[in-house]
Chains A and B, each alone.
Chain A
Amino acid sequence: MPVIDWEPMETVFYLSSAIALVSTAMVISRIHAMHAALYLIVSLLAAAVVMFSVGAPFTGALEIIVYAGAIMVLMVFVIMLLNVNREKKNPERKWLRPTAWLGPGMLSFLLLGLLGLLLTEKHSGNVGQGEVEVKQVAASIFGIYLIGVELASMLLMAGVVGAFHLGLKKREPISTE
């Protein structure tokens, strides 16, 4: 039997990929929206660890900041605001049962362990061919893709205006019939 040289980076890659798949499957199979949101956050974090392990730290950080930070906060906020599955008395005690947070919590701790493994890694190597540096990405964004950046900013502006318009309380109905 040949000696298998243990590659920590590959372990990180495959384990976090498995976590991403499992948690995404849990997202689309949950009944309660809040549980699904928790699993979706774990899924995004797992994908971020995958990106770190293949040597794309810029997109990994962006993933955590924008997806897990901004979009999921917005989504959790709306779920809490609407409070779809209404329980009358003591809802928070009901939500904080271990069955609600044990799965996402365990998967997150596994991801934390993987991240620690990734940080204490002596010989720094990636799963893929190498690292695409932030410098290259930045030069590409503000070089040949500058028009795309402008279009993205216009799209975000349209999104803000549209969300504001839709969220506005109307005095009169908007239908023209």
Chain B
Amino acid sequence: MIRRNMIFVIMSLEIMLHAAGLAFVMASMRWQQPDGQVMFVFVLAVAAAEAAVALALLMRLFGRSGSLDTDTVGK
């Protein structure tokens, strides 16, 4: 793992969730079924909840150690 900044970890998580959602939408358009778009809505809800909790954890981490380096968490 190259990036050790917690913000970048969260951003990369968002990118991955978003890629999964985009794949769902594209599959939905390929087979002309609405199910993929429904799944995208669920992915959106998961991403929103994940972002809220992850950013709250980030604030706690910053308040505890004063940095966002994930290497310092266990110390």
Identify the A interface with B (CB < 8 A).
24, 27-28, 33, 36-37, 40, 43-44, 47, 50-51, 54-56, 58-59, 62-63, 66-67, 70-71, 74-75, 78-79, 81-82, 84, 126, 128-130, 132, 136-137, 139-141, 145, 148, 152, 155-156, 158-160, 162-164, 166-167
Contact = CB atoms under 8 A, between A and B. Distances in A.
A28 B59 CA distance: 21
Interface residues of B, number: 44
Contacts of B34: 132, 136-137, 139-140
Contacts of A139: 34
Nearest to A157: B49
Which 9 pairs show the lowest CB-CB distances between chains A and B? A159-B49, A166-B56, A152-B45, A163-B56, A163-B52, A140-B34, A136-B34, A137-B34, A33-B7
Among A28, A37, A78: residue with most chain B CB under 10 A: A78
Contacts of B22: 47, 50-51
Contacts, number: 138
